[in-house]
Structure 1
Amino acid sequence: MAGDRLGAAPNGILLVDKPGGITSHDVVARARRALQTRRIGHAGTLDPMATGLLILGVGAATRLLTYLVGLDKTYEATIRLGVSTDSDDADGAETARADAAAVAAVTDDALRAGVAALTGELAQVPSRVSAIKVGGRRAYDLARAGEEVELKARRVTVSRFDVLAVRRAEGVLDLDVVVDCSSGTYIRALARDLGAALGVGGHLTALRRTRIGPFDVAGAVADLAPGVELRSAAEVAASVLGVFAVTADEARDLRHGKRLIGAASRLPSPTPAALDPAGRLVGVVERRGEDVKSVMNLAEEAS
């Protein structure tokens, strides 16, 4: 179902397969040109080196992005052990190189133990070259200015960290991995920490995001051409939040800020998407005692 109607301002969710070598903001700029609108936002960025799934909100549907940024994600990556960089990825400058004999001495059992230690709930210190703000400035800006950056550890969850292939060469050890993780997990930091635990250093040489919540990169577009089709806000909200079906009268009341008295027992999830009989997104609702109240509304013409 397309997210916009003929003659209407574009509105909906766009799944994009980002190529390498450009920023997420470059992708947003291309989408703005293709759709001829400035009102586009994203639900989480990818580094320039990385490829894969980006979720863009267009028009009124940008209001849904707050419900998408915290979704779990899947990444495919290549970790190079034996070399460290100042950014923990291949875009950074090399800072250390382990002795070839030390890298060769890393056994398969040691690899398995190192990966296992980085699986589950972790206290992860993000890469110093990250978009996290420190005193109002991005960490990567501080690092590039030569300032010391100390980032606090964050609680993240790595539910899967599987090694798909191991390639040994002179002085380096490359691992192809797949990672399922909570939002806010840095795959670069996993590479850094695995290398540190094994005593040889490590960094990321390739990264591809293949999934965000229920959305797979296989359903994303690579060509941001005029007329690219958007997913409707209703379709996306329903798949992420669950559906709270409402009558036409209830839809009108929610849009007017009224509570639905005694309707909380019908809620399928804490913050489901309210859909009217025509399948249009009214907004996102939540329980208030025994009642239901809207926490985010979409105007009827944008739903």
Structure 2
Amino acid sequence: MESEEAEGTIVKMINNCDDRMSELKAFDDTKGGVKALVDGGVTKIPTMFYHPLDKFPNSSNTEHSLIPVIDLEGVAKDPITRQQVISRIREASETWGFFQVVNHGIPGSVLEEMKEGIKRFFEQDVEVKKEVYSRDNTKPFFYNSNFDLYTSSALNWRDSFGCQIVPLIGKPQDLPEVCSCAGHYYPPCPEPELTMGTTKHSDGAFLTVLLQDHIGGLQILHNDKWIDVHPVPETLVVNIGDLLQLLTNDRFKSVQHRVLANRNDSRVSIASFFGYNSLAPLTKLVSPIKELLSEDNPPKFKETTVAEYAAYFKAKGLGNNPLQDFRI
């Protein structure tokens, strides 16, 4: 009963604020995230979560089947299969910027436990989660809602946690026992037509590998249409990030994508971002690969560092396209 009364108070605190910054701070100070709003019985979402209508239409029901699904069976043993898979990945990276992989070698039981771990963390009592609530992403583990809370034009209907796995900051025991990976939690939304689970954006790293549950809602922008990436059991979604588009001088595409909010079910996803601390040191210069350049294909992006791009991406927040600001 005390927990329910506290959650109800959270909703009242936010709704009683008379300006946007106070509203944001009140929400942040609760350390309960979107999940606490839902648990508190919110029926009308706060206006800070309102998103403008998107100008791009949704696709037909059949277009989602065009998103490449690449079978990795035998890729490590058969040279012919390996070349075929490489060719398909190259084509998907150039055309779609997104593809799915099957027969990747991770047991289905492991994938299911990963998703359950996300749910276990976010569905804990809010007082337990508050202990690791932080906006300091240098910590071994941090949980919050909307990393760009104070800079975005509209908040997303999701809570997130993150931990750096390679190299691990701190010790394995610094991570909560309930989970040991990075993930997002999208609670049911009473007014999904007014907001987004995640607003349209591209990823700022080199590459993202995503595990999504059965709920769905992930969409990619392709040929000015939003196309559903329907969940397929035991399949991983792979997408190109901004830094890989920069390295390949626009050959591989870092595609905008989003997640819809939904009224009926909570959704979880686990994203592994490869780039800021695993594929390159923070001070390493990143520029288009020289072997891809020619008189007919000069450099299209300015040289930058991983640290500089990461900081710029964070400052811009989701919903923007920071890579365009690095074009020559």
Between structures 1 and 2, the one with greater helix share: 2
Q: When you count strand as a share of all residues, which structure comes out higher?
A: 1
Q: Which has the higher contact order (CA 8 A, sep 6+)?
A: 1
For this structure pair, what is the TM-score category when the shorter chain's length is used for normalisation? Answer: under 0.3
TM-score, normalising length from structure 1? 0.24
Greater gyration radius: 1
TM-score normalised by structure 2 residue count: 0.22
